[in-house]
Amino acid sequence: MSDVNPYQSPASMAGAERSPDQVRIARNIRAICILYVIFGFFATLGGAVMLFDDQVSPLAAGLVLLAGLGGLISAIGVLRRRKWGIPFCQLMSGLYLLSFPIGTILGAYFLLNIRKVKDDFR
């Protein structure tokens, strides 16, 4: 038997102390990205269905599909704490600002607060 406990939380890194505000913001960013994944999934699904509808322009269906995939991929990048996910998700958050009122609230919060937890990403 090994002495490793798989359920034990990881050891804290030296110098990586975070304020309660940073912890709260990181938790909220994670929640927003989970919502972005859900929204991206349904937008991708809707765009794919729209491609087979004769009443919808293929250009519109393609844009919805592309926006859904972009939101899905960018949010997964941020959830996995990848540096490339931040600018990609910032771009998608800027587009989500146009989705009043929920997209505006989520996009604005993400854009205003991601810089506060940017150092947590690799």
The tens digit of pLDDT for each residue in 33-43 reads 999 999 999 99
**Is residue 28, in this structure, part of any structural domain at all?**
yes
pLDDT over 70 at 15, yes or no: no
pLDDT of the residue at 69: 96
Model pLDDT for residues 23-72, shown as the tens digit of each residue: 898 899 999 999 999 999 999 999 999 999 999 999 999 999 999 999 99
Work out how many domains the chain is built from and give that number. Answer: 1
Radius of gyration of the chain (CA): 18
pLDDT over 80 at 5, yes or no: no
**Is residue 16, in this structure, part of any structural domain at all?**
no
Q: Three-state secondary structure along the chain?
A: CCCCCCCCCCCCCCCCCCCHHHHHHHHHHHHHHHHHHHHHHHHHHHHHHHHCCCCCCHHHHHHHHHHHHHHHHHHHHHHCCCCCHHHHHHHHHHHHCCCCCHHHHHHHHHHHHHHHCHHHCC
Model pLDDT for residues 94-112, shown as the tens digit of each residue: 998 998 898 899 999 999 9
**Is residue 14, in this structure, part of any structural domain at all?**
no
**Is residue 83, in this structure, part of any structural domain at all?**
yes
**Is residue 60, in this structure, part of any structural domain at all?**
yes
Model pLDDT for residues 84-97, shown as the tens digit of each residue: 989 999 999 999 89
**Is residue 15, in this structure, part of any structural domain at all?**
no
**Is residue 34, in this structure, part of any structural domain at all?**
yes
> pTM (2 decimals)?
0.78
Q: Which domain holds residue 61?
A: 21-120
Q: Are 53 and 62 in contact (CB under 8 A)?
A: no
